Structure 1
Amino acid sequence: MPEVNWEKRWKTKETQWDLGGVTPVLTKEVDGYVKRGREVGDALVPGCGAAYDVAFLAERSRTVTAIDLAPSAVKLAREMCRTRKNANIVLGNFFEHDFGKKFDFVFDYTFFCAIQPELRPAWGSKVSSLLSPGGRLLTLVFPIDEDNAFNPDANGPPFPVSVAAYEKVLSPHGLVRVSTERSEASVSPRRDRELVVWWEKQKQNL
């Protein structure tokens, strides 16, 4: 299956996944996280796109780093975060970039489902390597399709996913699932195919 030209998608505005604002589930989940006494700390957003979520996280975290490989997306992201001194927008490939630090919080939405399925093990390894022990990963699992989540011939992006598809590539690297639920904050067209799943990096691999 040919790679997607993400830069072309952004230039031609073929960005149907872009909600045009902060992801409502992220707002709800992070605000609840903070109210429970947790600190977001240093945050990471792979595949940040126009960075609405990054700008929001900059208000709740110590620092937030975001990365995208499409120059047009990064330009929009830097403009979105121009007043957020604690936000760093990187132009680069998530799998190849050396971030030079660990993170306390990682947010993944429409990134796991956008990468070629054969890259999922590398995604799991990379995310784990970037999370500090005890760090949290928040995934919005979408679009859920249990029958095709492991189908190598499934069409995409977005490629069909499932919680099990995430677990398969995260659990070998010491990430355990903390909670799984539907959210009323999910945007209505996605609500029936989306789950909110929190993961935690174990302080030592079991």
Structure 2
Amino acid sequence: MEEPSAEQLLEEKSGQSYWDTRYKDKTAVWDIGEVSPPLRSYIDKIEDKNLHILIPGCGNTYEAEYLLQQGFKQVTVIDIAPTLVEKLKDKFAGNIHIQIILGDFFTQQGQYDLILEQTFFCALPPRMRPHYAAKMHSLLKQGGKLAGVLFNCSFEGGPPFGAYQEEYEALFKEAFHFNVMEPCRNSIAPRANNELMFELKKNAEVLVQRYVFKGITCNGCKQTVTDKFSAIEGVLNVCMSGDFSEVLIVSKKEIALLELQSSIAYDARYSISKAD
């Protein structure tokens, strides 16, 4: 029998079955049993209790529980694991201020004032990071914010999948205004010096588009293609996934697909198309 590829193994670790098994077996090892101190401090500073708040990849969602305790009235959580979601529906039964959704975050619709990030980004395969940035931008209202905690370190294997501040800055550049991105001062001891607190505000004056790319096989080629796209008039930022399969383009105006295709026509191996 043929051994599964690294890509196949990675896909298995990002699917519904993988996460549902984790919650059935109670092996969600990132669960600290309470709202993380940096997020608690952030929530404590929010005055408007009527904000529409979304928590993706919510897990046991201590954050949502804390929001409700503090009087927030419009909280939505979403997770892909059926076992977990059933547990949450039982836990919050009768509470009209929380909506609990079983589903894929990347198909979620709606508009939110605030999206809270807590160990969702690091659960996703790195190739999905452009999709994450684009989806967050689309779900936020004008002036909406994406905020929370990100790992500022690397891990072997994964999930979790780590990253560093410069990688986040490259991913979110121009699509968001950086209000805060700094080391957490009150992380739990095991995560001390390895977390970033951040708050990003949606830049509603730009277009954020995601594309499927084929043909690149090395980082040098990736940089050349990135430079080609960046040179197109109106393009503000270009970020390609680590496996070269997706490109995020932030621009002042709609960039014609033909113009993108023309800029990479020097290599017949390359192709670009609009992502679904």
2:165 aligns with 163
1:22 aligns with 35
SS in 2 for 1:95: helix
Rounded Cα–Cα distance in structure 2 between residues aligned with 1:83 and 1:196: 33
Paired AA for residue 43 in structure 2: V
Rounded Cα–Cα distance in structure 2 between residues aligned with 1:45 and 1:87: 11
Rounded Cα–Cα distance in structure 1 between residues aligned with 2:50 and 2:146: 11
8 Å CA contact 1:125–1:170 kept in 2: the answer is: no
Is 1:85 the equivalent of 2:96?
yes
| Alpha-carbon offset, residue 83 of structure 1 | 4.5
Rounded Cα–Cα distance in structure 2 between residues aligned with 1:67 and 1:163: 26
| Alpha-carbon offset, residue 60 of structure 1 | 4.4
**Structure 1 length normalisation: TM-score?**
0.85
Q: Deviations over 1:36-85 (max 9, x none)?
A: xx566000000011121112223443311111000111122223323531
The correspondence of residues 102-113 of structure 1 with structure 2, limited to 5 A, is: 102-113=111-122
Q: Deviations over 1:72-103 (max 9, x none)?
A: 11122223323531100100111123x2x200
How many residues matched? 193
SS in 2 for 1:185: coil
Q: Deviations over 1:152-179 (max 9, x none)?
A: xx6211011122322333225x212111
Paired AA for residue 11 in structure 1: K
Paired AA for residue 187 in structure 1: I
Is 1:94 the equivalent of 2:144?
no
| Alpha-carbon offset, residue 123 of structure 1 | 0.6
Rounded Cα–Cα distance in structure 2 between residues aligned with 1:41 and 1:69: 24
Is 1:51 the equivalent of 2:61?
yes
Rounded Cα–Cα distance in structure 2 between residues aligned with 1:79 and 1:167: 39
**Structure 2 length normalisation: TM-score?**
0.65
Is 1:189 the equivalent of 2:200?
no
Q: Which stretches in structure 2 are left out of the alignment for 5+ residues?
A: 1-5, 207-251, 253-276
8 Å CA contact 1:177–1:199 kept in 2: the answer is: yes
8 Å CA contact 1:54–1:81 kept in 2: the answer is: no
Higher RCO (CA-CA < 8 Å; seq separation 6+) = 1
1:118 aligns with 127
Paired AA for residue 150 in structure 2: V
8 Å CA contact 1:46–1:66 kept in 2: the answer is: yes
8 Å CA contact 2:77–2:100 kept in 1: the answer is: yes
1:178 aligns with 179
Is 1:12 the equivalent of 2:25?
yes
| Alpha-carbon offset, residue 182 of structure 1 | 2.8
8 Å CA contact 1:125–1:169 kept in 2: the answer is: no
Distance 1:165 1:44, change over 3 A: same
8 Å CA contact 2:73–2:98 kept in 1: the answer is: no
Instruction: Find the structure with the greater CA-based Rg.
Output: 2
Distance 1:170 1:180, change over 3 A: closer
Match of 2:46 among 33, 39, 43: 33
Distance 1:60 1:23, change over 3 A: farther
Distance 1:82 1:165, change over 3 A: farther
Is 1:76 the equivalent of 2:87?
yes
Q: Which stretches in structure 1 are left out of the alignment for 5+ residues?
A: none
1:62 aligns with 73
| Alpha-carbon offset, residue 183 of structure 1 | 3.1
